Structure 1
Amino acid sequence: MAETAQSTDAPEHPARPLPPYVPRLAFAGGLVLTGVVLIMTVGVNRPAGEEPPPAPQPQPALAVPDQKPQPGAATPRAGLAAPPDRPTVSDAAELETWAKRVAAKTRLSVADLSAYGRAEMWLRRQKPGCHLSWATLAGISHVETAQGRPGPITLAPEIWAKHSARARSDGKQPDPKDLDDAAFATARYLCAAGDDVATPDGWWKSMRVFNPAVPYVQEVFSAADTYADASVAP
């Protein structure tokens, strides 16, 4: 009797379906690879001869000519007047607009000009006969910076104690390291004697009380006149 042949083949099993996360992983991997390729090719496909845009460069400081005026012979020009002082309403927006306009012409910072302009505004109401221009304060700061002074505008401790006041109505104590307070205290000091600093005699008298050295005052004159002239230029 013939024996029935038995099959030695392994039984077939149905294919197992892929876990649901595998297609998602493959898709994510494809996105990552595409991103890497794009990053690697950025700049390679830039048209020939085309350079990346240069980084913006800061504007150089305004050149201040050395005028060396004789004491009492002239006064610096008045700069573009700061906005009117409005005691009962906020004038911060007007001051900022003015500072930005003057900054574009003088290359001084908006923050510095706001301090000088605020001092002019305060003194216009407190000492209307003084006629102090912000340009004189900018000239003093220019010379102080050139001479390496540690503060924005340096006043002797006894002068600071007598003339300092808070430039902002926030109830805080005046700070000699704060440019707003330093500019305001300097303006109060320059106008303390009641002289009209819009006149040559009054300006030189006031400045030589601030610093009796003629070369120092001449440098302040040159800087103040330069900033004032630039501020009103078309």
Structure 2
Amino acid sequence: MAETAQSTEAPEHPARPLPPYVPRLAFAGGLVLTGVVLIMTVGVNRPGGEPPPPPPQPQPALAVPDQRPQPGVATPRAGLAAPPDRPTVSDAAELETWANRVAAKTRLSATDLSAYGRAEMWLRRQKPGCHLSWATLAGISHVEAAQGRPGPITLDPGVWAKHSARARSDGKQPDPKDLDDAAFTTARYLCAAGDDVATPEGWWKSMRTFDPAVPYAQEVFSAADAYADASVAP
């Protein structure tokens, strides 16, 4: 009687079905991954494949022609006049509007222009015959910066002690490192002799008092004239 051969293969077991939550977890994970990819790519590629625009570049400084006028022959042109000084009413809003307008044309800082404009306003009331323009103060500051001076407008300590004044009515002491105070004190110094700086003789006399070097006054003249001309350009 023949013996029946026994199989050595392991019995087959049917595959167990996946738990019902596994497909849902895989789908959710795919959504999360897609969201991360979208977040990382937002702002990198713009519609149409165009790269994002470059950041705006700062405007270059206004070109200042080297005029080198002879002393006493001419004065810088008059710039856009600062607002009228109103002693009993705040003029901050008008000054800010004026400074922003002139800044757009001259490429100077609106903050600096506020200091120059305020000095012109105050001197217009304190020394009405001087006719000092903010443009001359801007020209002095331009030359001081070009020469690497440490302060906004550098004044001799003796001059500062005699002519310094606070540019704000806050009761504090004048600060030579504060551009508002430095500009106002410089304006007072330029107008101290009582000359009319709107005339060639008066402007050159006041500038030679500020700095006796003719080349210095010529550089101030060139910068002041350029800023004044730009401020009234259409």
Compared CA separation, residues 121 and 9, structure 1 to 2 (3 A)? farther
Count of residues in correspondence between the two structures? 234
TM-score, normalised on structure 2?
Answer: 0.86
Distance 1:154 1:202 in 2: 21
Contact 2:44 2:51 in 1 (8 A): no
Distance 2:109 2:31 in 1: 47
Q: 1:24 to 1:96 in 2, by over 3 A?
A: farther
Q: Distance in 1 between matches of 2:142 and 2:128?
A: 25
Q: Write out the 4+ residue segments of structure 1 that deviate beyond 4 Å after TM superposition.
A: 1-32
Moved more, 65-74 or 22-31: 22-31
Q: Deviations for 1:35-61, whole angstroms, at most 9, x for unmatched residues?
A: 312123335653455121110000000
Task: After TM superposition, give the deviation of residue 2 of structure 1 in Å.
Answer: 33
Aligned to 1:204: 204
**Contact 2:211/2:217 (<8 A) preserved:** yes
Question: Mapping of 1:66-81 within 5 angstroms?
Answer: 66-81=66-81
Residues 43, 129 of structure 1: alpha-carbon distance in 2 compared, 3 angstrom cutoff: closer
Distance in 2 (alpha carbons) for counterparts of 1:163 and 1:13: 105
1:224 counterpart SS class: helix
Shift in Å, 1:30: 7.4
Q: CA deviation at 1:233?
A: 0.5
1:225 aligns to 2:228 (yes or no): no
Whole-Å separation in 2 of the counterparts to 1:122 and 1:20: 84
**CA 21–122 in structure 1, closer or farther in 2 if over 3 Å, else same:** farther
Instruction: Provide, for residues 149-199 of structure 1, a one-character-per-residue CA deviation record: whole Å limited to 9, x for no partner.
Output: 000000011100111110011111110000000000000000000000000
Q: Distance in 1 between the 2:94 and 2:11 partners?
A: 90
The answer for unaligned runs of 5 or more in structure 1 is: none
Contact kept in structure 1, 2:45 and 2:52, CA below 8 Å: no
Q: What is the CA distance between 1:10 and its match in structure 2?
A: 23
RMSD: 4.6
- Which stretch of the first structure deviates more once superposed, 27-36 or 93-102? 27-36
Does the 8 Å CA contact 2:45/2:51 hold for their aligned counterparts? no
Change (3 A) 1:24 1:228: farther
Q: Please give the residue correspondences for 1:1-234 in structure 2 after superposition, counting only pairs within 5 Å.
A: 33-42=33-42, 46-48=46-48, 50-234=50-234
Following superposition, the deviation at residue 78 of structure 1 comes to 1.0
Q: Bigger CA drift: 87-96 or 18-27?
A: 18-27
- Shift in Å at residue 80 of structure 1? 0.3
Higher mean displacement: 62-71 or 2-11: 2-11
**What TM-score do you get using the length of structure 1 for normalisation?**
0.86
**Aligned mates of 1:20, 1:187 — CA distance in 2:** 86
Shift of 1:5: 30
